[in-house]
Amino acid sequence: MEAGQDRDAGWLVAAVCIAGPALVALIPMAAAPALVAMAQHFGANADSQLFSQIVMTLPAAMLVASAPVAGWLAGRIGQRAVLLASLVLYIIGGAGVLLIDSRSALLVLRLLLGIAGGGILTSCLGLIGDHFSGHRRERVLGYATSVSSLLAGVALIYGGRLVDLGGWHAPFALYLLGVPTLLVSWFVIRNAVLAPEDAAEKGVAAARDLAHVWPYYALLILLTLGMFTPSIQGGFVLAARGMGSAETIGAVIASTSFVAMITAWAFGYLRRWIGLHGFLVLDALSMGCGILLIGLSSEVWMVFLGCALVGIGAGMSEPATASLLFRRTGPAVHALAMGLIVSALNAGQFLNPLLFDPLRRGMGVSGAFVALGLVFLVVAGGLVLRNRHDLTEKDKG
């Protein structure tokens, strides 16, 4: 159990901790509306299309690699230094695209942006653990995921308009939102002071803590794979069945983000009645039902409902997992534990197309969705059997 159950650093610190993950959510989503225009700019051929897709996904690979390093650094030089340095890199790697027009420069800036994202998300999650506790912490975690989903949805919807107004560079101006976040962070973020017994926990004890919680990272990778299934794979289901235009496909898929925004916002309040493992059951169950429904769909509204069901779990899986890890690791390990969470989140996103490709080749699009949906339902059942004691919240205080 953790000490200091009354930690609450105030709304300005909470605002920075919420803004950081939202900025990271912009890393793929701000670039997404520019992909077609970018491919046309660099040459209307298959190589240019592949290049534009790499531009979108390259930062995710850097997030996986950089987040644990950021967590390790935060444990030595402090969360504040990691956050401020990462925000500077974010502004350079994101908004810097407005000033360049070459493939190589674009790739370098996207690599920098991925490194920055790993540092921002890791430090913000760590700061939440350091400066908040109990249900206050869980509410801030929920708000962070909620605002991230909202900003991702807004970027998808309005980014296309920016492309129409200013060309493929224009959506990269959204990364300038890092500037006010950097200014506020400079004045309000301070490192938490560890108690002597917490500082003594580093080293072997830290490795022991992380070794005990690895199943939660494995589960988070699976849940993240599920939450990105509508956005990465849903359009292929609709296209294969002739359901709607590109605009319809975008609107249907966006339902996942907007439902995730609502459920993440409600996470802290629902904690009064639902245990943390109960949330993991709901996450796996809603994703399983949603993915299964998409696979069996014959109408657009069925795909829409399936995407919305996936959004329920998408909004609550990260705050539930982070809360469990805060509880089961000591304060000295929190920074590294959060870095590994960031890696797990992005690993699930990266693995999604690699898993779906052989399933789609062997079972067809519908069969792939049905198979994955059944896996999630089995996982939900296993979580119920294993964690019957923590499905509802017993501590109402």
Domain locations along the chain: 1-193, 197-387
Residue 329 confidence class, pLDDT cut points 50, 70, 90: confident
Longest CA–CA separation in the chain, Å = 63
177-232 tens-digit pLDDT: 999 999 999 999 998 775 555 554 555 556 677 778 899 999 999 999 998 888 77
For the segment 338-357, the average pLDDT, to the nearest whole number, is 83
As a whole-number percent, the residues of the chain with pLDDT over 70 amount to 89
CATH superfamily of 197-387: MFS general substrate transporter like domains (1.20.1250.20)
Report the Cα 257 to chain-centroid distance in Å: 11
104-127 tens-digit pLDDT: 899 999 999 999 999 999 999 999
Token duo for residue 81? 């230094």
Q: Which of 1-5, 92-96, 134-138, 362-366 has the lowest mean pLDDT?
A: 1-5
Q: How high is the pLDDT of residue 3? A: 45
For the segment 307-328, the average pLDDT, to the nearest whole number, is 92
**220/217 Cα distance (integer angstroms):** 5
The rounded radius of gyration (Å) of the Cα atoms in the chain is 20
**Both ends of the chain: CA-CA distance in Å?**
15
Which carries the bigger pLDDT value, residue 308 or residue 49? 308
Does 1-193 match 197-387 in CATH topology?
yes
Q: How high is the pLDDT of residue 397? A: 45
State how far the alpha carbon of 133 is from the alpha carbons of 70, 148, 224, 317, in Å.
22, 21, 25, 19
Q: Which value, to the nearest 10 degrees, does the dihedral of the CA atoms of residues 100, 111, 321, 130 take?
A: -80
For the segment 72-84, the average pLDDT, to the nearest whole number, is 91
| Pick from 345, 71, 66, 65: nearest CA to 206 | 71
The answer on pLDDT for 1 being more than 50 is: no
User: What does CATH list as the number for 1-193?
Assistant: 1.20.1250.20
Helices (H) and strands (E) in the chain, counts: 16, 0
The b/e string for 317-330 (b: 16+ C-beta within 10 A; e otherwise) is: bbbbbbbbbbebbb
CB 318 within 8 A of CB 220: yes
Residue 24 confidence class, pLDDT cut points 50, 70, 90: very high
**346/155 Cα distance (integer angstroms):** 19
**Taking each helix axis from N to C terminus, what angle separates 276-296 and 334-386, rounded to the nearest 10 degrees?**
70
- 81: amino acid identity, one letter: A
Q: How high is the pLDDT of residue 114? A: 93
**7/1 Cα distance (integer angstroms):** 14
Q: How high is the pLDDT of residue 202? A: 54
DSSP tag of 176: G
Cα angle 305, 311, 315 (rounded to 5 degrees) comes to 160
Strand partners for 8? 132
